[in-house]
Structure 1
């Protein structure tokens, strides 16, 4: 049985290229003003840098308390209570921690999956079963995931369209439940099928409340979330 001690505040390589130099953003107001006055590419890089600093500044106790509040909110969502097959993530780099939800999910008999870097396709994800005895390794970004031998067995994987719900991390979110990710496009590529007719899971973004801004730039390839849940509130797409 593996024994993982997740520290959501620890540093890990980001799933993106290094930031450009960005304005000195000290508050959401200065951030929004800078976004209005800067070229689009620098906007996004400045925004990611600012929001990562926000979540990384939280103490371990603040992280733990936020995770408890988040998971309490998640337990009230019909998209969670109805799910029989659900994917979540193991946190790094200050991401809010959804793993306190695991005992509750397992008690309800929910099949749990983790995103795993696909070895055969760049910037795409597999979704692999996660049990207490699943063999785990760190991937090239320092994130724990089921090891390659376990993940390669087809019976341990589920196509994304067959999941009921995905709980996904994010760097930032806005008042319309738009998501800003780390910039690698892993989820957008893996879930691109959701822009076409057919079965698809419900996407729930989770974050610290300090990662919220008024409005985010939206790209045509962004896969929309249904709701974003933070440690303080829920924002549903209208």
Structure 2
């Protein structure tokens, strides 16, 4: 019996997250610092707006990578959850207070400037060798990227994951956005995208 795409994604997500959760916490910390060592491979021009994310659960901690990108001149922002369907990106400034965003994450408060990312570090639950991703199921990033594209923006998308989150194949759905690049502890992977 073949599972419908949504159910197959749910199963693949659970399996990939279980593998990620099983990683030794000390190893995850060291691996997160290795991501920062790869900043030069993805570093944009100074002044480029880069969205990162506050790590939740056993995710890659991208804060060292974000700090390295800031040191190279990037402007940083983090997602802010507005409601059950919408995130915006607010500027992350050194020393500015962060507020609870739910899901165990934090981000800049309402007084922070909203920015449109030109480079997005995209969290994910699972990915395949084509650059297709499985998120956490809420669709926040798919909708945010689509809104940017509707406004004529084309942010560079780089998925962030551990190697253990790779799955044989992610089922395609019409709303899914494939990633041209994914950064893991092994390095940057680039994928051919359909025209």
Compute the TM-score of the two structures, normalised by the length of structure 1. Answer: 0.74
Q: Gapped runs of 5+ residues in structure 1?
A: 1-35
Match of 1:133 in 2: 95
Q: Cα deviations across residues 85-125 of structure 1 (Å, max 9, x unaligned)?
A: 11101111111111112332232221100011125xx4111
Q: Distance in 2 between matches of 1:41 and 1:102?
A: 32
Q: Distance in 2 between matches of 1:222 and 1:195?
A: 14
Structure 2 alignment gaps of length 5 or more: none
Distance in 1 separating the partners of 2:177 and 2:132? 9
Quick one: structure 1 residues 197 and 190, their matched pair in 2 at CA, closer, same or farther if it must change by over 3 Å?
closer
Contact 2:125 2:133 in 1 (8 A): yes
Residue 65, structure 1, aligned to residue 65, structure 2: no
State yes or no: 1:42 paired with 2:4.
Answer: no
Among candidates 101, 114, 119, match of residue 157 of structure 1: 114
**Which residue is 1:3 aligned to?**
none
> What is the count of residue pairs matched by the alignment?
191
> Is the CA contact (8 Å cut-off) linking 1:87 and 1:113 kept in structure 2?
yes
Q: 1:133 to 1:194 in 2, by over 3 A?
A: closer
Greater C-alpha Rg: 1
Could you say which structure has the higher strand fraction? 2
**Is 1:107 aligned to residue 76 of structure 2?**
no
Corresponding residue for residue 81 of structure 1: 44
In the other structure, the counterpart of 2:161 is 207
For residues 182-217 of structure 1, the C-alpha deviation after alignment (integer angstroms, 9 at most, x for no partner) is 000001111114555833110100100000112111
What is the RMSD of the two structures over their aligned residues, measured on CA atoms? 2.0
